[in-house]
Amino acid sequence: MDMKDKEREYIINTYGRDPVSTPLITAGEGVYVWDDAGRGYLDFLSGLAVNSLGHCHPEVVDAIQTQAAKLMHTSNLYYTEPQIRLAEQLVTHSAMDEVFFGNSGAEANEAAIKLARKYGKAHRGPDAYEIITAEQSFHGRTLAAVSATGQPKYHQGFEPRVGGFRYGIFNQLDSFAELVNEATCAIMVEPIQGEGGVYPASREFLTGLRRLCDENDLLLILDEVQCGMGRTGALFAYEHYGVVPDVLTLAKAVGGGLPLGVMGARGEATEVLTPGTHASTFGGNPVTCAAGEAVMKVLLTPGFLEHVQQVGQYFTERLSTLAQRWGKEVRGLGLMVALEIEGDGDAVARYCLENGLLLNCIGGNILRFLPPLIIGEEHVDAAMNIVSSALSAESSG
Ligand SMILES: *Cc1c(COP(=O)(O)O)cnc(C)c1O
């Protein structure tokens, strides 16, 4: 049996991969991946914002290999060095005071949800457990994280949802303010909605949420699973807004390609989870944390984030030119950008794939780009040529 037939035979079909058009990727280096037929692809999706330093970044590979040969796992019954060092780096370079390690974005958000409920009970009373999240948000697929996610299509068939989530309208402060009552314990949003279509929060909205939380003793949880770790040209997206969260969740790029999730907490929020209240067997594993240390080191190299800002700006300008001709709108920040088009986005994405460019389409007409942060203008030009021909091809039917 061929590999793709075996996939169909042995793997539960949650991803809907298509045996004809979906490539089987066998290798990656820098901004490129290759499939089993030896075809190369310019990767403007980075494994969904995970491979932010490009594929197989030598410093990440070296950190993983060295640590794997030394100690792979001991459980959290014991201290391990990479975990403590990565925590120190994350705390030093963020507004967070302490962190908890898990293995994914959903788990980081689960930890944040548990923390918020416990905080609410202690600070606002036994019935303060509601968390206000945004419509069109995405917080992950575990039952609580998917309940926090304000998109009915992700709930369908899994009801009843975990209780205690209410949904406000993103970028409409009033709609959040109206939902605050004595049952509320926290507000959780993505500074830039990713899965929902790449919608940046407005400054007014995020600063307003911060004020709302301060006035009502609520925790402000920012989900930076997708937009954090340098993606927007700042180490963390909240830096663009002058807003500091009480709880910050990270995953995707933080482990350099290995599964790692982080929930950071600040101030009183660090005191909420106590021994025995939360745990993860793998969380903060030595190998994933060693990879995370290497990622932090590269992101903090002088000039790295400036590069993300510059190439992000160039990319946005190139996309805006395309948008004048084909599109409705260009949105985003740094290297988390989208082009919303009038035509069939899925057809455009398919054309790009066939012509050696990976990107994805959300909601039928939003082309989402999450390229490695190490791309240069020449890669943007190459990608734009393909997208441009794809748009021409699509419009001529
Ligand atoms: C991807 C994503 C998640 C879920 O992360 P997983 O690692 O898939 O569990 C949560 N929040 C945001 C904003 C995301 O983009």
63 lies in the same domain as 48: no
- Range 31-60 average pLDDT: 98
Residues in the chain: 397
Pick the closest to residue 21 from 343, 352, 364 (CA basis): 352
- Ligand 1: distance of its center to the CA of 108 in Å? 9
Q: Of the residues 299, 329, 364, which one is the last residue of a structural domain?
A: 299
> To test ligand 1's pocket by mutation, which of 195, 222, 336 has the most ligand atoms within 8 angstroms of CB?
195
- Please list every protein residue whose CB sits less than 6 Å from any atom of ligand 1: 104-106, 109, 138-140, 190, 194-195, 223, 225-226, 251-252
Number of domains, the chain: 2
| Catalytic positions, written as ranges | 138, 223, 252
Mean pLDDT of the chain: 97
The model's pLDDT over 141-184, given as tens digits with 9 standing for 90+, comes to 999 999 999 999 999 999 999 999 999 999 999 999 999 999 99
152 lies in the same domain as 249: yes
> To test ligand 1's pocket by mutation, which of 14, 52, 139, 262 has the most ligand atoms within 8 angstroms of CB?
139
Residues of the domain holding 132:
59-299
pTM: 0.98
pLDDT of residue 395: 83
The model's pLDDT over 87-121, given as tens digits with 9 standing for 90+, comes to 999 999 999 999 999 999 999 999 999 999 999 99
397: pLDDT strictly greater than 80: no
pLDDT of residue 83: 98
> How far is the CA of 119 from the CAs of 110, 246, 369, 372, in angstroms?
14, 11, 37, 37
Question: Please, are residues 61 and 260 in contact by the beta-carbon 8 Å criterion?
Answer: no
19 is written with which tokens? 């045996």
In the chain, the amino acid numbered 11 is I
Supply the CATH number for residue 268's domain: 3.40.640.10
73 lies in the same domain as 87: yes
Supply the CATH number for residue 50's domain: 3.90.1150.10
Question: Please, are residues 198 and 338 in contact by the beta-carbon 8 Å criterion?
Answer: yes
Q: Of the residues 299, 329, 355, which one is the last residue of a structural domain?
A: 299
- Give percent of the chain with pLDDT exceeding 70: 100
